[in-house]
Amino acid sequence: MSALGERVILHECRILRWLNHGLERSLFCSTMVFASRLGDGVAWYTLVMVVLWWQGLAAWRGLLAASIATGVCIALFKLVKRRTSRPRPFEVMADLHTALPPLDDWSFPSGHAMNAFSAAVVVQIFFPALALVIWPLAVLIAVSRVALGLHYPSDVVVGAALGALIAGASSYAVLSLFPY
């Protein structure tokens, strides 16, 4: 491994330990567990219900873009996780603690971050009035995955970037096919 690669890993481990040791504070731990659980799907189902209640069937293009992005994100993170087989941080670093069991075996990329940032981009494009709520939630979900020792920071950054790109592409496709 290169010197740069080793420095990146050391930096990631420092961030992980710093956030993870915050779990010793019960409010921080509860907040991280709550945020992570929201990212399991609860936030996205709630978002769909709010959008439908607020805009009704007029929201169909945004919901279509979100559905396409979510499907692609799920397929992609499952494929990449199986191919990379990166162990989770708490499995490698004995001093890390986790308050939640992982939903699958592998760390890279973070599916939670991918879906959270995908949702944030779709909301920004189609429902900008909700952007001030969704962006902080997406960031909180992503940070929670690192704090809980379930992901390395790079897992979350790559997941967030892929989710944003996928959502941008799906939104562009929907708006191109259905401009009005």
| Alpha helix positions (H), 2-59 | 3-20, 26-37, 43-55
pTM of structure? 0.93
Query: Tens digits of per-residue pLDDT, 8-28?
Result: 888 999 999 999 988 888 899
Q: Please choose, from the candidates 151, 111, 117, the residue with its C-alpha nearest in 3D space to the C-alpha of residue 136.
A: 117
Number of structural domains (the chain) is 1
How buried is residue 133: exposed, middle or buried, by Cβ count under 10 Å (0-12/13-18/19+)?
middle
Alpha carbon distance 125, 62 (integer Å): 8
Query: Which position has the higher pLDDT, 170 or 102?
Result: 170
Percentage of the chain modeled with pLDDT above 90 = 81
Q: What is the mean pLDDT of residues 116-122?
A: 97
Q: What is the mean pLDDT of residues 84-102?
A: 91
**What's the pLDDT score for residue 23?**
80
Is the pLDDT at 66 greater than 80? The verdict is: yes
**What's the pLDDT score for residue 68?**
97
Alpha carbon distance 143, 137 (integer Å): 10
CATH number at residue 56: 1.20.144.10
Domain that holds residue 155: 3-177
Least confident of 20-24, 35-39, 54-58, 108-112: 20-24
**What's the pLDDT score for residue 1?**
65
